[in-house]
Amino acid sequence: MSSVPNPIRLGILWIGLALARVGLVTEARARRTTELAWPRIVTGIARMSKNAVDVAMVGVAVGSSAIAGVGIAGPFWGLAFAVGGGVAGGTIALVSQRYGADARDDLGLAVRSSALLVVAASIPVTVGFWRFGPALIGLLSSDPAVVDAGGSYLRVVAFGIPFAGLNLVASRTLVGCDDAYTAMQLRAGGAAVNVALNAVLIFGFGMGVVGAALGTILSNVFVTTAFAIGLTAGRFPGAGAFPVTIDPAETYVDPATVADLVAIGLPVMGRNLVWTVAEFPMFAILDVFGRDVVSAFVIARRIWGLMNTPGWGFGLASSSLVGQELGVGSEATAEAYGREIIRFSVAVYAISAALVFAFADPIVALFVDDPTAPAVPIAIDLVRVACGAIVFQGVSGGASGPLNAAGDTRWPFASQAVGAFGASIPLVYLGATTPLGIYGLYLAFFAETSIPAALNYYRFRTGIWKRVSRGYRPESAVGE
């Protein structure tokens, strides 16, 4: 299925083959990495485009207060992906190693335990956001219009959190089984459904930010249903056969499996939470700059999300391929995959960032109804700065893939925390309180990416992650 012509796949493959010609990667690994990475990148583009369209639609329909409100609600919604992504981080580590070792019973147990764990973890978050949505937004903004828009959005979108978490677990299951294409079909399809629903609800029914939230919920329910049918029946209409079938009637709770999921997943959740949590003080500080800077920052971060999609693909491809090799005890091959995927990832990031830099003006203009709005030039400058900073994500994400596959997830969490709380937020604060001004925000973008890049790459080079992985492998796997 992955041979379907696709410009993103062809572009990534072309870059990989160019790197192979100069000896930076092997052609076989470049091709296999591309087959796993490109569907996930397309999924990321679809989902981040959906997020960007959300902001653009509510901005056109309601105005800058809606842009800021939905943007401030974004970190709270991001908790869904921190919780779900944490559990899913354990899922892909266990699934890829068991898939590589052909331990199918253990694989099914890992998936069922993951599903139960993600639902149990996400329900309290849902209840909290529904009950305290407006108050939470009010902690980060003193603008009544922004608080009203953000609070209304958060209270409704909260009900999509358990479904979003289940979708992450299901997609990581497929990627861990060497099938990113099917996951792409379902999740990208869900993003397209989300955009269509938003257009109808926001403009057709005049529901504004509430319409955007409802569209998000309904599209996540659609994707969850599709994954559930596919994983239990072995196929889904239009998506074809699934690589594994999970029996929903078997055991869900195995203490050893749950313990492994928690041990691997908690640091992944923490790493995902770092930037989500960091955005809370970030928005509180940005509020000092005024609504225009907040709106510009939200626009720039939505574009940043699109530019960061190569990391989705290469990080998960690395986790899957490295994990499969570790599952059969091939540590040298696992390390080779990790090293070459880092190089591949950096090259793709650099090329995509150069394109966004060149077209920053028209891209930003898509998010506003008035191209002369004060937020526009601020957003353009932020986007161009982000184009330089984002390249370090190629190193950070590429190096974290092998660590995640091995179960060595504490290091990426710590590196992200140091980058965000040790450098990025203090720089924004200095910008808000000293003559450094907006340049503090520029420097914060670079600190956010360069520090995790250096720390994750160092950990990868030490090789300690290979030793860590031996504690999570199937019993049949023997290290080299």
Neighbour tally for 415: CB within 10 Å: 25
Query: Over the stretch 37-66, which tens digit does the pLDDT of each residue have?
Result: 888 788 777 767 766 777 777 776 766 677
Task: Return the pLDDT at 100.
Answer: 79
Asked if 88 and 113 touch (Cβ cutoff 8 Å), the reply is no
Residue 428 has pLDDT above 70, yes or no: yes
The strand pairing partners of 236, in sequence order, are 240
Any idea which of 126-130, 156-160, 322-326 has the lowest mean pLDDT? 322-326
| Residues 293 and 438 sit within 8 Å (Cβ to Cβ) | yes
pLDDT exceeds cutoff 50 at 31: yes
For the chain, give the mean pLDDT: 87
Residue 324 belongs to some domain of the structure: yes
Question: Percent helix, strand, coil in the chain (nearest 5)?
Answer: 80, 0, 15
3 state SS of 25: coil
Cβ(357)–Cβ(308) under 8 Å?
Answer: no
> Above 70 in pLDDT, residue 257?
yes
- Position 450 scores a pLDDT of 96
Is residue 205 situated within a structural domain? no
Please give the Cα distance from 61 to 303 (Å, whole number).
20
Domain span at 28: 7-49+73-119+162-182+230-469
**pLDDT tens, position by position, 149-167:** 888 889 999 999 999 999 9
> Taking 60 as the threshold, does the pLDDT of residue 441 lie above it?
yes
**DSSP secondary structure of 79-122:** HHHHHHHHHHHHHHHHHHHHHHTT-HHHHHHHHHHHHHHHHHHH
More confident residue, 5 or 409: 409
Q: Would the pLDDT of 463 be above 70?
A: yes
Tens of pLDDT, residue by residue over 183-216, are 888 988 888 888 889 889 988 888 888 888 899 8
Q: Has residue 271 been placed in a domain?
A: yes
Other CB atoms within a 10 A radius of the CB of residue 432 amount to 19
| Domains in the chain, number | 1
Q: What is the mean pLDDT of residues 401-409?
A: 86
Alpha-carbon distance 136 to 129, whole Å? 8
The string of pLDDT tens digits covering residues 64-102 is 677 778 878 877 887 777 888 888 888 988 888 888 777
Query: What is the pLDDT, as a whole number, of residue 41?
Result: 86
DSSP designation for 24:
S
Q: Is 206 contained in some domain? A: no
Q: Is the pLDDT of residue 222 over 60?
A: yes
Residue 427 in any domain: the answer is yes
Residue 480 within any structural domain of the chain = no
The pLDDT, as a whole number, for residue 475 is: 57
For the CA atoms of 12, 14, 17, 23, the dihedral, rounded to the nearest 10 degrees, stands at: -80
Q: Is residue 145 part of a domain?
A: no
480 has a pLDDT exceeding 50? no
Question: How far is the CA of 306 from the CAs of 309, 312, 356, 376, 390, in angstroms?
Answer: 6, 10, 10, 18, 11
More confident residue, 428 or 86: 428
Write down the pLDDT at residue 1: 46
Rounded distance between C-alpha atoms, residue 57 and residue 42, angstroms: 22
Tokens standing for 215?
Answer: 């569209």
3-state secondary structure 213-282: HHHHHHHHHHHHHHHHHHHHHCEECCCEECCCCCCCCCCCCCHHHHHHHHHHHHHHHHHHHHHHHHHHHH
Domain-located, residue 474: no
Q: Name the maximum alpha-carbon separation found in the chain.
A: 64
Share of the chain above pLDDT 90, in %: 40
